[in-house]
């Protein structure tokens, strides 16, 4: 049986469908599977030949044993279609220079990689809620892409409402229009007077109020949700299979990173035995993660030190999913994780694991780099001039760092996390031309907007939720 544990060491062990609807563990920790299933050579060989939905089913089956196989298979088949994701490969590689390619993860409904997990989550939620005869109110925080991906995955789904907080005025006009133009009755946009971390703190505060959470059936779709991470593990395998001919080959991945969700899925894939050489975290000027991987010191930033950049989906001051990796690094010792994340961070705003840095790099394969606005512009221009390929600003951060970190003889895959149309202003600044806009998004900025403005106050958000349920 596959059971899930909290990174803070709570004694409970839970099944997948319990944590699917739950979010944070009762002790404030994040859920992880009790062990990582191991994938052997014969299995890798068998999986190479599978279409994406079947690969997803195989991997998910290792982590989910409380949904009948036929149902899970049908959910994967329904989720990962050419119609929704644009190509039969779902996540095709796009070669650039020798040994370096992009993996296209951004051809879903909202043009960012978060659709890869969220579309599955929408179908899983609807399935499980119907099975239980229950409803769920999803509370989320977004600086852009999570919110729209969640709303497009949940719109019109039976038994689900979405309450999505976002920092007022901090998303691109296109991102705002994507979210605020949705008129579905089960979708609620809440703009918060603050930064992304205020939104994230509100979600945590509401989720930690267990009575409120139970009464209003609050769930989450933030990247702390294990099901999202698990869904993301699949495309690391799919990318690996496309880039290699034999299981003896290794590849590296560079991942434009913020909350450490995407790259944490890479860590899980590597722990399962996927032959990944390096996992490279690329940050923008908000370099909490790059600092950690260079120095071993994890230091969260205050709101005033959190910069508004041209790769805004990576503008974070702390990386929520990082706790999952630290749990593994510290031998899955929940007491140690609680001491660091529960106590030291609250007291000192930092902790020091520099004594483990060698292990972080050698045993777990992590590396990192940082990219600035000037780097993004240069990388956007260079990629357009040399290859005629237009990338987005987050992918540009990844590509810049990938070139620095690439090792001879090891293919480097850069995860393409969004399409350029989402961040048009910077594309125009770099290239002097507008990115192409998919037909379904023509003129969305002009559509009527559905959004409520609230102060950065968890109490006010609770009142809003209570007034809009049922």
Ligand X SMILES: *Cc1c(COP(=O)(O)O)cnc(C)c1O
Select from 29, 219, 239, 258 the one that contacts ligand X (CB under 6 A).
258
Determine, following the binding rule CB under 6 A, whether residue 7 of this chain makes contact with ligand X. no
In the complex, the smallest distance separating the C-beta of residue 266 from ligand X, rounded to whole angstroms, is: 10
Output the smallest distance, CB 431 to ligand X, in A.
Answer: 18
Residue of the chain from 53, 161, 376, 394 that contacts ligand X (CB under 6 A): 394
Residue 298 in contact with ligand X, rule: CB under 6 A? no
Binding to ligand X, residues 329-388 (CB under 6 A): none
75, 81, 238, 355 from 78: Cα distances, Å: 5, 7, 18, 47
- Residue 41 CB, shortest distance to ligand X, in Å, is 30
Query: Given the rule CB under 6 A, which of 78-86, 207-215, 256-264, 340-348 is the region that contacts ligand X?
Result: 256-264
257 binds ligand X (CB under 6 A): yes
β partners of residue 299: 350
Q: Is 426 in the site for ligand X (CB under 6 A)?
A: no
How many CA within 13 A on the CB side of residue 87? 11
Q: Tell me if residue 204 is catalytic.
A: no
Contacts of 248 (CB under 8 A, 6+ apart): 275
Cβ at position 262, least distance to ligand X in Å: 4
- Segment near ligand X (CB under 6 A); pick from 200-208, 250-258, 349-357, 461-469: 250-258
Nearer to ligand X by Cβ, of 334 and 420: the residue is: 420
Q: How far is the CB of 22 from ligand X (least distance, A)?
A: 20
The first and second tokens of residue 267, run together, are 């860590």
Residue number, 47 or 226, with CB nearest to ligand X: 226
- Distance between terminal CA atoms of the chain? 36
Pick between residue 17 and residue 139 the one whose CB is nearest to ligand X.
139
Burial level of 29, CB count in 10 A (0-12/13-18/19+)? buried
Using rule CB under 6 A, residue 418 touches ligand X: yes
Nearest approach in angstroms of CB 158 to ligand X is: 27
Tell which phi-psi region holds residue 301, choosing left (phi > 0), alpha (psi between -120 and 50) or beta: beta
Alpha-carbon gap, residue 56 to 59, rounded angstroms: 5
Please report how close the Cβ of residue 47 comes to ligand X at its closest, in angstroms: 24
Which residue's CB is nearer to ligand X, number 107 or number 257?
A: 257
Q: What are phi and psi of 427, to 5 degrees?
A: -65, -45
Interface with ligand X includes 286 (CB under 6 A)?
Answer: no
Q: How far is the CB of 314 from ligand X (least distance, A)?
A: 5
d(Cα 219, Cα 136) in Å, to the nearest integer? 6
**Among 23-31, 73-81, 251-259, 345-353, the segment contacting ligand X (CB under 6 A):** 251-259
Rounded to the nearest whole angstrom, what is the least distance from the CB of residue 392 to ligand X in the complex? 7
What residues from 91 to 150 belong to the interface with ligand X (CB under 6 A)? Answer: 112, 114, 145
Torsion of CA 308, 313, 315, 321, to 10 degrees: 170
- What is the side-by-side strand order in the sheet with 251-256? 93-95, 100-104, 412-416, 251-256, 276-283, 366-370
400 in contact with ligand X (CB under 6 A): no
Q: Does 314 bind ligand X (CB under 6 A)?
A: yes
When asked if residue 276 is in the footprint of ligand X (CB under 6 A), the reply is no
Judged by DSSP in three states, 86 sits in: coil
φ, ψ of residue 366 in degrees (nearest 5):
-80, 145
Is 72 or 276 the residue whose CB approaches ligand X more closely? 276
Is residue 223 involved in binding ligand X (CB under 6 A)? yes
Helix or strand or coil: residue 241?
helix
- Measured CA to CA, the distance from residue 217 to residue 225 in angstroms comes to 16
State the Cα–Cα distance between residues 398 and 281, nearest whole angstrom.
8
Q: Which stretch binds ligand X (CB under 6 A): 24-32, 90-98, 189-197, 257-265?
A: 257-265
The residue among 72 and 418 lying less far from ligand X, judged by its C-beta, is 418
Specify the residue, 73 or 417, whose C-beta has the smaller distance to ligand X: 417
Interatomic CA distance for residues 195 and 181, integer angstroms: 22
Nearer to ligand X, 306 or 417 (CB): 417
Catalytic-labelled residue, pool 83, 114, 157, 400:
114
The answer to the question of residue 262 lying near ligand X (CB under 6 A) is yes
In degrees and rounded to multiples of 5, residue 311 shows phi and psi of -120, 70
Is the CB of 260 or the CB of 298 nearer to ligand X? 260
Q: Name residues whose C-beta falls within 8 Å of residue 311's C-beta, 6 or more positions apart in sequence.
A: 256, 284, 371, 376, 393, 394, 396, 397, 423
Task: For residue 282, give the H/E element and its range.
Answer: strand 276-283
Pick the piece of the chain touching ligand X (CB under 6 A) from 15-23, 210-218, 253-261, 343-351: 253-261
| Residues paired with 394 in a beta bridge | none
Q: Write out the catalytic residue numbers.
A: 114
Instruction: Summarize as ranges the residues that interact with ligand X (CB under 6 A).
Output: 112, 114, 145, 223, 256-262, 313-314, 394, 417-418
């Amino acid at each position: 049986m596959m059971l899930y544990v909290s990174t803070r060491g709570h004694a409970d062990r839970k099944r997948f469908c319990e944590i699917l609807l739950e979010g944070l563990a009762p002790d404030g920790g994040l859920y992880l599977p009790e062990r990582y299933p191991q994938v052997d050579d014969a299995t890798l060989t068998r999986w190479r030949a599978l279409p994406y939905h079947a690969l997803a089913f195989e991997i998910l089956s290792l982590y989910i044993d409380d949904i009948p196989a036929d149902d899970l298979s049908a959910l994967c088949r329904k989720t990962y279609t050419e119609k929704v994701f644009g190509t039969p490969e779902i996540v095709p590689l796009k070669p650039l220079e020798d040994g370096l390619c992009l993996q296209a993860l951004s051809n879903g409904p909202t043009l960012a990689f978060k659709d890869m997990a969220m579309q599955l989550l929408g179908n899983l939620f609807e399935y499980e809620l119907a099975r239980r005869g229950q409803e769920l109110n999803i509370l989320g925080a977004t600086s852009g892409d999570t919110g729209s991906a969640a709303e497009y995955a949940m719109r019109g789904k039976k038994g689900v409402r979405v309450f999505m907080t976002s920092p007022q005025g901090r998303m691109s006009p296109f991102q705002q229009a994507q979210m605020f133009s949705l008129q579905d009755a089960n979708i609620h946009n809440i703009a918060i007077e603050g930064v992304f971390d205020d939104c994230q703190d509100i979600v945590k505060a509401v989720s930690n109020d267990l009575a409120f959470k139970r009464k209003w059936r609050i769930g989450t779709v933030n990247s702390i949700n294990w099901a999202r991470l698990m869904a993301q593990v699949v495309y690391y395998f799919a990318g690996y299979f496309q880039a290699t001919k034999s299981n003896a080959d290794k590849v590296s991945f560079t991942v434009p990173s913020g909350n450490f969700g995407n790259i944490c899925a890479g860590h899980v894939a590597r722990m399962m035995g996927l032959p990944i050489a390096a996992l490279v975290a690329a940050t923008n000027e908000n370099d909490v993660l790059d600092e950690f991987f260079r120095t071993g010191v994890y230091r969260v930033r205050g709101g005033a030190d959190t910069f508004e950049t041209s790769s805004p989906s990576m503008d974070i001051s702390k990386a929520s999913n990082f706790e999952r990796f630290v749990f593994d690094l510290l031998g899955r010792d929940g007491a140690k994780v609680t001491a660091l994340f529960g106590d030291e961070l609250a007291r000192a705003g930092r902790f020091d694991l520099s004594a483990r840095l060698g292990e972080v790099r050698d045993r777990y394969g992590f590396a990192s780099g940082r990219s600035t606005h000037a780097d993004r512009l240069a990388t956007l221009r260079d990629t357009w001039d040399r290859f005629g390929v237009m990338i987005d600003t987050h992918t540009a951060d990844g590509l810049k760092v990938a070139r620095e970190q690439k090792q001879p003889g090891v293919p480097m895959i850069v995860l393409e996390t969004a399409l350029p149309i989402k961040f048009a202003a910077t594309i125009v600044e770099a290239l002097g031309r507008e990115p192409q806009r998919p037909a379904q998004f023509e003129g969305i900025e002009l559509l009527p907007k559905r959004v409520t403005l609230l102060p950065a106050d968890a109490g006010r958000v609770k009142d809003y939720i209570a007034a809009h349920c049922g």
